[in-house]
Amino acid sequence: MSLTPPDDPNMADALVQSATNALRSADQSNPSVADRQVRQPDTWLLRCALMALAEHGSADATLAVVELIRDREPLAAYKILPVLARRAEDDVEIAYFVANRLQALRFLLRRPSDVDRNTWGDQLLNMACAAARLDDDTLAFSCLERLDQAPDIWITLFSQQDRRELLAETVALLGLHPLTNYLIRNAIRHHGDAGAHFLQQVAVNAAAWIAKGRRVARTRRLLQRCVDTVQIATLLTLLSRRYAGAVLALGGDVRAILEQINTIANIQDARRESGVAYRESEHKVLRQVRRPRADIDVDFQFYTLKEAVDHLDLANLHTADRTALAERLSHLGAASDGWTAASAAGTLIRLGELDHAVAVVDRIDPRDPTRSEAYNVLVAGLLDAGQNDEARVQAQKAVRWAQSLPEIHPERMVIWGIAEAYLKHDQAQAALGVLAQRRAPNLTTRLRRLFRGGEVTEDQLREDALRMYAALLNRQGGRDQATPILATIRRQAPQALDGKALAIFYTDHVLAPLLETGSHDLAWSFLHDVRSVLGRILSREQPVRVEAVARLLVEALDTIDAVTNDAVSSKAMDAAHNAARSLLRHLWEGSAQQGIWPTVYSIGGSLPLLIRLVGSSAVVEIAQLANAEGHSWRRRPISELVEENDVEEPERVNAA
C-alpha cells in the first residue's frame, strides 16, 4: 500500500514546513520545567507518528517510520503488525502488505529462544496475532507451537495484561486445537486470576466473531470450551469468580451466574464473621468522589452481576431469567449508595424492567447526594427506551428532591444532567424547561459576587453552554439565538476557568455541540479560542487535549465530505480545511514559544488531523526530521515524571 497522497501537495508542504519551523525554533528557546519526561522529545514524537500511521492503516508510511525508530524501539516492527492486520479486513492492500511482512519474518521460528526470551516471545506473539487476523492459521499455529517449546514461556506471557489480551485475541481467532485447548483447560489451574481473565478475553472475542458471522461453528465450540472450563474449575479468589461470571454470561447460563453471586456473598460473609480484614486498604472512592455510604462488598457483587448482564444476549433472554436478574440487581443496587443505584437503574432499563429501575432510585436515602447521579441515569435511560412521559415524571421528581436539600451541588448536577439527556434526544424545549427551574442564588451569594466585581461562575458558563446547544437544535431562528450566547461564553470563560479545565469545557461543551448541530461557520471561528487555550497547557495533558480536538475535527471533515456534491458543499469543505489548517499552524507556532516539549506535544496530538488533511506522507516527513535533528532537542537529561500541578498553575476544575 503506497503512502496516502495529499489532496494538495502545496498545502502538505506548507503544513510540514510549519511543523519544521516550529520544531527548529523551539529548539532555540529556553527549556522549562515542562521539558521533563520519561523519554526524549524526538523519541516521543516518533512513537506518536508510528501509532497514528498504524491506526490509520498507512502501511508503507508505517514501515518507513519503523525503520527510523528501529534502534530505539526494537519491537516496533512487530507491534504494528496486529494493528495493521485489524485494518486488513477492509483493505486488500494492507492485507497483502502484512502477509509479505509475516513471510519475511518467518526466520524467527528457527531462532533460539535463550537469547532474549521476553523479546523473542513478544515477536512471535505479535506475529501469531497478525497471522490469525489474516486467516493464516498455519503460520499462527507455528508461532504458538514454537513458543510452547520454550520453558515457562506461558508464565511470562500470562503475567502481563497486554500480552495476555493479545494471546486471547489470537486463540479466539484460531479456534480449538491441541495447543489452544491446553491453554484454555489449564489457564486457571496454572495462572490463577490471570488465567481467569484470559478465559474471559477469549470468550469476549469469540462472541464478537460469532456476532460478525466469522467461522461461527468453530468459534461456538471454542466459546463453549471456555464456559465448560470455568464451570469445573476451582476458583480460589473473588476476582476469578468475577471473570467467570462474564464467561458464563456469554454462554447464556443465568442460573450459573446467580450461583456465582451467591457464592461471592457467602465468602464475604464468612470473612466478615472470621474477622479477616482483607479489604482494609481499599478506599470508598469512585471518580475521585468519596463514597461514605457505599458498601464495598455489595458493590463487588453488583458489578460482577452487571458485567455478566452486559455480556448476555438480552434479546433472547427467557422471561424467568430476566425477572430473576432484575430482582437481584434491584436488591444489590439499593443496598449501597447512589452511584451503585445509578448503574443498577441503567442496567435494569436495558433489561426492559422499567418499574424495577424506578423502584431502585426511589429506595436511595434522600439525604444521599449521590442520588443525583441515579436520577440522571434513570431519565436518560427512559428517554433511550422511548418512555418520554415517564422520563418527564422522573425529571420533575428529581428536581423536587434536589431542591429540598440545603446544598446546591445536587440541584445543579440533576438539572444539568437531565438537560443534557433531553438535548441528546433533540428535545430542546424540555431541556430549557428543566434549566428554568434552577433556583436563583441566595442573597449572600449575590452580594459576594457583587463585592467581587460580578465575577463569572462555572455555573453560569455551564448553563450558557446548555442554552446555546438548545438554541442550535431549534430549527427556526436557532442560530440567531445561539450567536450572542457563544459570544458571551468566549468572553467570560477565560475569567472562570483555565488550563485543562478550560480546554475540556471548550471541547466537550462548546465545540462538540457546534459541530454536532452542523453550525460549522461558528465552530471555525471558535477554533481561535480553542487554539489559544490548548497552547497554554504546559504539561503531559496537552497532547491528550489536542488529540481530542483533532478527532472532533476529523469526524466533522468526514461528515462534510460525505455530503459534498455541489458548489455550495464544496465551499463548505474548503472552509473546513482552511480552518483546520489554520488551527494547526497557529497552535504549532504558539507552542514553539514555550519550548520543545510543548511543541512536540502539540504536533503529536494533532497527527490524526494532519493525516486527514494532507495524507500520511506529511507525518513521515515530520518523523524524518525528528530522527535527523532530534538529538539537538535534548537539552536536559531524562528526569522523573512530573504531575500536572508541578508544571502549571493550579487551575479551577470545572464542576461538570
Question: Residue 642: which pLDDT band, with cuts at 50, 70 and 90?
Answer: very low
Q: Give the HSE-up count for residue 281: Cα atoms under 13 Å, Cβ half-sphere.
A: 1
Distance CA 257, CA 260 (A): 5
Chain-centroid distance of CA 453 in Å reads 40
Computed on alpha carbons and rounded to an integer, the radius of gyration of the chain in Å comes to: 27
Residue 164: partners with Cβ closer than 8 Å, 6 or more residues away: 157, 158, 194, 197, 198, 201
Q: Which residues pair with 289 in a beta bridge?
A: 286
Per-residue model confidence (pLDDT) at position 274:
85
pLDDT at residue 7 above 70? Answer: no
The tens digit of pLDDT for each residue in 37-51 reads: 567 889 999 999 999
Q: For 606-617, how does the pLDDT look when each residue is reduced to its tens digit (9 = 90+)?
A: 999 999 999 999
What is the per-residue pLDDT across 83-130, written as a single tens digit (0 to 9) for each?
A: 999 988 888 889 999 999 999 999 988 887 666 788 899 999 999 999
Handedness of CA 551, 554, 559, 562 (dihedral sign): negative
What is the pLDDT at residue 454? 56
Nearest 5°: the CA angle 171, 175, 177 is: 95
Beta bridge partners of 290: 285
Report the pLDDT value the prediction gives residue 643, as an integer from 0 to 100. Answer: 41
Average pLDDT value for residue range 641-656: 38
Beta-carbon contacts of residue 297 (< 8 Å; ≥ 6 apart): 265, 268, 272, 279
- Burial of residue 312 (number of CB atoms within 10 Å: 0-12, 13-18, 19+): buried
Mean pLDDT is lowest, of 55-59, 562-566, 575-579, for 562-566
Nearest alpha-carbon partner for 604 in 579, 578, 630: 630
**Res 656: pLDDT:** 35
Q: Give percent of the chain above pLDDT 70.
A: 87
pTM: 0.86
Spatial CA neighbour of 124 closest among 92, 156, 96: 156
Measured in whole angstroms, the distance separating CA 588 from the mean position of its chain's CA atoms is 26
Mention every residue, 6+ apart, whose C-beta is less than 8 A from residue 352. Answer: 314, 322, 385
- DSSP-assigned letters across all residues of 451-493: HTTS---HHHHHHHHHHHHHHHH-TTTHHHHHHHHHHHHHHHH
Residue ranges and CATH numbers for the domains of the chain are 1-43+523-656 (no CATH), 319-439 (1.25.40)
CB < 8 Å & 24+ apart, contacts of 481-490 = 482/519, 482/522, 483/522, 486/510, 486/514, 486/522, 486/526, 488/464, 489/461, 489/464, 489/465, 490/526, 490/529
Task: Residue 112: count other Cβ atoms within 10 Å of its Cβ.
Answer: 8
- Residue 290, classed as helix, strand or coil, is strand
Concatenated DSSP letters for 200-269?
HHHHHHHHHHHHTTSSHHHHHHHHHHHHHHHHHS---SHHHHHHHHHHHHHTT-HHHHHHHHHHHHHHHH
* Average predicted confidence (pLDDT) for the chain: 87
Q: Comparing 82-86, 281-285, 504-508, 571-575, which segment has the lowest mean pLDDT? A: 281-285
Q: Which residues pair with 568 in a beta bridge?
A: none
How many CA atoms lie within 13 Å of 253's alpha carbon, on the beta-carbon side? 18
Which of the residue ranges 192-201, 212-221, 635-644 would you say has the lowest mean pLDDT?
635-644
pLDDT of 339-356, one tens digit each?
A: 899 999 999 999 999 999
CA dihedral sign of residues 169, 50, 8, 561: positive
Q: How far from 526 is each of 496, 506, 592, CA to CA, in Å?
A: 18, 9, 22
Query: Distance between CA 340 and CA 360 in Å, rounded?
Result: 10
Distance between CA atoms of 557 and 226, rounded to whole angstroms? 43
- Quote the cell numbers at residue 1: 500500500
Higher pLDDT, 30 or 65: 65
